């Protein structure tokens, strides 16, 4: 590697350590790391801000921005309070039943929307219901982020890496549904069982709180019915556009921004009120992270590591798929699965041409590894970062290691289950 490549590697590693140890705020660390990458010419402005391969993924940034505005408007209608009471009553105040209900909803919604949008919608409900039942909110938020990553694996629109893979490989919405959805159903069930063990200390049942919840009327929580109808109508159109992405060919970011603009236009909310709900630190953190990872791409660090692994398994599709699955899970946990998949896609496309039989097995290995590996750390997937940002803003800070100690267990178990599935379905 060149001197610049080594410098970029050191800067990225040092920044990651700062984020992991929380010596300084993660936004400061990401911005500082990005600034140094630009300073040492590991990347340039043209690449950092305009390159699709190694720059800031503006589709992710503006998808988040648009959905944050929509969620901010919905919050003022009282619908999240309504859903919180409804969920708590259906669970009869039992914490584990409540978590199961929220996780199933999260996983299903992530398959139809995308995992980032889902956690933006489910997090406010979680805060309210945990407050009502005097439950610690962190375990519920962590579990929901992981459920969104698992559920999003099932479809083309469920997880941003899948969109990149589909574009490169020419795969359709139905391809993802047929090949990955059966596994995701099993993984979701196993994950729920894991949560019963991992978060057992959080399931403190309070009979008095539960009784109070059962006496509440969720309909009384709605504060503005007109705005609620307007907001749900716009959200419905946005969701439909997400699902019809293969037909309409509008990027999710464009759909989210159009929906946000329309909602601000038709409701009585002001632009100041709408923008007040945006998690600006989260968006800035993403921008810094993308610039740093882009520098590793520009200097050839990621390509060299990935190419070495590919060459070591050339001509052996079974071994190649397994290495790709586990390597993707590990690397996605470190560099965020979106830029990782963007970097690996050209390599997998080239490798797939030389693999006998069903070469799509490599694409499924990349998708499963990146999507499930995103659960391993707090910065492995966009949904994780968003959850941490929302928690911090609402006074329930989740540390890097608090998330990661659970994420590593979930990732190892789910990827281990995906291994025989991949092998049996495509390689035997």
Q: How would you write the pLDDT of the chain (428 residues) with one tens digit per residue?
A: 789 999 999 998 898 888 777 788 888 998 999 999 999 999 999 999 998 777 888 887 888 888 889 888 888 888 888 888 888 888 888 999 999 999 998 998 888 777 888 888 889 889 988 988 889 999 999 999 999 999 999 987 788 788 778 877 878 777 888 899 999 999 999 999 999 999 999 898 888 888 888 888 888 888 889 999 999 999 889 888 877 877 888 888 888 899 999 999 999 888 888 888 788 888 888 889 889 888 988 898 877 766 676 666 665 667 788 888 998 999 888 877 877 787 677 678 767 766 666 678 889 999 999 999 999 998 888 899 889 988 988 888 898 889 999 999 999 999 999 999 988 876 55
Helical H runs in 113-206? Answer: 115-133, 137-152, 160-169, 173-198
Measured between alpha carbons, how far is 151 from 266 in angstroms, rounded to an integer?
Answer: 33
- Let me know: does 227 contact 77? Beta carbons within 8 Å: yes
Measured between alpha carbons, how far is 346 from 388 in angstroms, rounded to an integer?
Answer: 31
pTM: 0.80
Measured between alpha carbons, how far is 143 from 393 in angstroms, rounded to an integer?
Answer: 18
Element (H, E) at 184: helix 173-198
- Let me know: does 142 contact 387? Beta carbons within 8 Å: yes
Measured between alpha carbons, how far is 173 from 191 in angstroms, rounded to an integer?
Answer: 24
List the one residue out of 273, 311, 279 whose CA is nearest residue 26.
279
């Amino acid at each position: 590697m060149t001197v610049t490549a080594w410098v970029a590697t050191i800067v990225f590693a040092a920044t990651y350590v700062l984020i992991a140890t929380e010596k300084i705020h993660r936004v400061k660390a990401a911005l500082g790391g990005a600034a140094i990458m630009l300073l040492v010419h590991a990347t340039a402005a043209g690449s950092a801000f305009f390159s699709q391969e190694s720059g800031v993924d503006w589709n992710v940034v503006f998808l988040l921005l648009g959905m944050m505005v929509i969620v901010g408007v919905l919050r003022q209608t009282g619908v999240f309070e309504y859903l919180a009471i409804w969920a708590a009553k259906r669970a009869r105040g039992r914490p584990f039943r409540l978590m199961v209900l929220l996780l199933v909803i999260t996983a299903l919604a992530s398959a139809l929307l995308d995992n980032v949008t889902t956690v933006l919608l489910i997090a406010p409900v979680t805060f309210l219901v945990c407050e009502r039942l005097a439950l610690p909110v962190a375990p519920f938020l962590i579990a929901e982020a992981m459920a969104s990553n698992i559920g999003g694996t099932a479809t083309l629109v469920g997880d941003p890496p899948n969109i990149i893979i589909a574009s490169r490989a020419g795969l359709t919405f139905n391809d993802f549904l047929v090949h990955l959805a059966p596994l995701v159903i099993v993984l979701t069930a196993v994950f729920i069982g894991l949560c019963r063990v991992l978060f057992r200390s959080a399931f403190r049942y309070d009979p008095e709180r539960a009784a109070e919840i059962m006496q509440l009327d969720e309909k009384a929580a709605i504060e503005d019915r007109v705005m609620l109808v307007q907001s749900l109508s716009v959200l419905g159109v946005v969701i439909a556009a997400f699902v019809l992405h293969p037909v309409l060919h509008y990027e999710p970011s464009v759909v989210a921004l159009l929906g946000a603009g329309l909602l601000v236009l038709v409701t009585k909310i002001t632009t100041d009120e709408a923008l007040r709900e945006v998690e600006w630190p989260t968006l800035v953190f993403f921008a810094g992270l993308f610039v740093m990872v882009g520098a590793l791409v520009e200097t050839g660090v990621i390509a060299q590591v990935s190419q070495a692994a590919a060459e070591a398994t050339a001509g052996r599709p079974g071994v190649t798929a397994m290495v790709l699955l586990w390597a993707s899970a590990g690397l996605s946990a470190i560099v965020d699965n979106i830029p990782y998949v963007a970097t690996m896609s050209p390599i997998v496309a080239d490798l797939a041409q030389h693999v006998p039989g069903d070469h799509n097995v490599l694409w499924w290995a990349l998708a499963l590894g990146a999507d499930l590996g995103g659960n391993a750390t707090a910065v492995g997937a966009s949904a994780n970062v968003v959850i941490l940002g929302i928690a911090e803003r609402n006074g329930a800070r989740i540390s890097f290691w608090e998330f990661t100690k659970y994420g590593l267990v979930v990732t190892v178990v789910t990827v281990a289950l995906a291994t025989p599935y991949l092998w049996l379905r495509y390689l035997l």
